[in-house]
């Protein structure tokens, strides 16, 4: 009898776990959704991608309702924004010793991740005849290991991070382990990222990085308390929005759908905050069809941008 009960319990738990992978798109209010200000077209602004490393995953582990058998490449990247006033990285990509950095992540992630290193950020810069000095700034979408790894080779470049994210990274949070390790090795050149530039579309506050509307940072708390998203208005008239890890896939915005429960548990600080952001991003995409929304890890979307 006891065995039967235990078996039943296991089956119920497995069914419950299975349910967390079933597609359940978030509900989106009807109506048009928020329109963005016109694209600020500034001469000499471009955005490209340094593809630092790949990790193999399955679609279904990245977005709720995705196929559990469909392979998905998780790209670990830095975005390079060129502007007449300077060159800025959005996230730091990976360091030369990214394999050691992977050791700071939870066991499950380490075990599942099959990491292929392609080009550490510093090597991508060097190959183009550039040095860390040629970077004006690094803006962090958030403080998790796969976004800060590259800082290890870019020590003197100013790093922009929100006070909320800095506090989170320096707390006991599991996701901030590598960040704390890097800071313990030697101090980073931190700059406080605050939002004093007024509304931008549906975002109540913003930070106009070059003060010409070309690169606009907005708060996007949820995945972490101090996550930010970055609008880049390109010379071509195209506008992109880098959303960090609010979603790992474009389906997360298109359907919209959150990460499956296991992934949320491991990486998202505030799951309900993430859901709100996903609904907003879905509405934003609907009202601004020309906007390219770029999850930090969706290699299929990265392929639509220029390679550095």
**Three-class SS of residue 123?**
helix
Q: Which one of 40-48, 120-128, 138-146, 148-156 is the stretch in contact with Zn ion (CB under 5 A)?
A: 138-146
Q: If you ran DSSP here, which 8-state letter would residue 5 be given?
A: H
Q: How far is the CB of 163 from Zn ion (least distance, A)?
A: 21
Which residues, 6+ apart, have CB-to-CB distance to 16 below 8 Å? none
Task: List the interface residues with Zn ion, window 176-215 (CB under 5 A).
Answer: none
Q: How far is the CB of 145 from Zn ion (least distance, A)?
A: 8
Distance, CA of 164 to CA of 126 (rounded, Å) = 33
**Three-class SS of residue 282?**
helix
Q: Which one of 46-54, 131-139, 164-172, 239-247 is the stretch in contact with Zn ion (CB under 5 A)?
A: 239-247
Work out whether the CA dihedral 16, 29, 258, 72 comes out positive or negative: positive
Site string (57-96) toward Zn ion, x via CB under 5 A: ----------------------------------------
Q: Which of residues 83 and 177 has its CB atom nearest to Zn ion in the complex?
A: 177
Q: Which of residues 146 and 251 has its CB atom nearest to Zn ion in the complex?
A: 146
Q: How far is the CB of 247 from Zn ion (least distance, A)?
A: 11
Using rule CB under 5 A, residue 268 touches Zn ion: no
Pick one of 123, 165, 208, 245: the residue that binds Zn ion (CB under 5 A).
Answer: 245
Q: How far is the CB of 146 from Zn ion (least distance, A)?
A: 4
Q: How far is the CB of 107 from Zn ion (least distance, A)?
A: 17
Q: Which of residues 146 and 298 has its CB atom nearest to Zn ion in the complex?
A: 146
User: 85 is written with which tokens?
Assistant: 């006033």
Which residues, 6+ apart, have CB-to-CB distance to 64 below 8 Å? 20, 21, 22, 23, 24, 257, 258, 259, 260, 261
Pick one of 54, 91, 123, 146: the residue that binds Zn ion (CB under 5 A).
Answer: 146
Helix 177-185 vs helix 163-170: angle between axes, to the nearest 10 degrees?
A: 90
Which residues, 6+ apart, have CB-to-CB distance to 97 below 8 Å? 152
Q: How far is the CB of 283 from Zn ion (least distance, A)?
A: 24
**Three-class SS of residue 59?**
helix
Task: List residues binding Zn ion (CB under 5 A).
Answer: 146, 245
């Amino acid at each position: 009898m006891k065995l039967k009960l235990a078996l039943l319990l296991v089956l119920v738990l497995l069914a419950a776990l299975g349910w967390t992978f079933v597609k359940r798109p978030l509900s989106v209010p009807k109506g048009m959704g928020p329109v963005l200000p016109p694209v600020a077209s500034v001469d000499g602004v471009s955005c490209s991608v340094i593809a630092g490393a790949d990790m193999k995953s399955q679609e279904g582990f990245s977005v709720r309702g995705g196929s559990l058998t469909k392979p998905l490449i998780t790209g670990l990247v830095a975005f390079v924004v060129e502007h007449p006033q300077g060159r800025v990285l959005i996230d730091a990509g990976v360091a030369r010793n990214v394999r050691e950095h992977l050791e700071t992540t939870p066991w499950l992630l380490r075990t599942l991740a099959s990491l292929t290193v392609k080009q550490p950020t510093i090597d991508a810069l060097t190959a183009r005849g550039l040095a860390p000095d040629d970077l004006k700034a690094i803006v962090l979408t958030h403080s998790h290991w796969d976004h800060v790894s590259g800082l290890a080779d870019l020590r003197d470049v100013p790093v922009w991070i929100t006070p909320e994210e800095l506090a989170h990274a320096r707390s006991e949070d599991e996701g901030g382990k590598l960040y704390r390790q890097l800071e313990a090795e030697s101090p980073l050149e931190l700059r406080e990222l605050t939002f004093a530039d007024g509304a931008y579309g549906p975002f109540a506050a913003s930070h106009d990085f070059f003060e010409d509307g070309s690169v606009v940072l907005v708060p996007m708390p949820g995945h972490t308390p101090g996550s930010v998203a970055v609008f880049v208005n390109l010379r071509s008239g195209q506008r992109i929005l880098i959303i960090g890890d609010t979603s790992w896939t474009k389906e997360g915005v298109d359907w919209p759908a959150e990460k499956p429960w296991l992934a949320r548990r491991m990486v998202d600080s505030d799951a309900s905050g993430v859901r709100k952001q996903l609904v907003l991003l879905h509405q934003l995409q609907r009202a601004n069809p020309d906007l390219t929304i770029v999850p930090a890890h969706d290699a299929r979307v990265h392929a639509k941008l220029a390679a550095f």
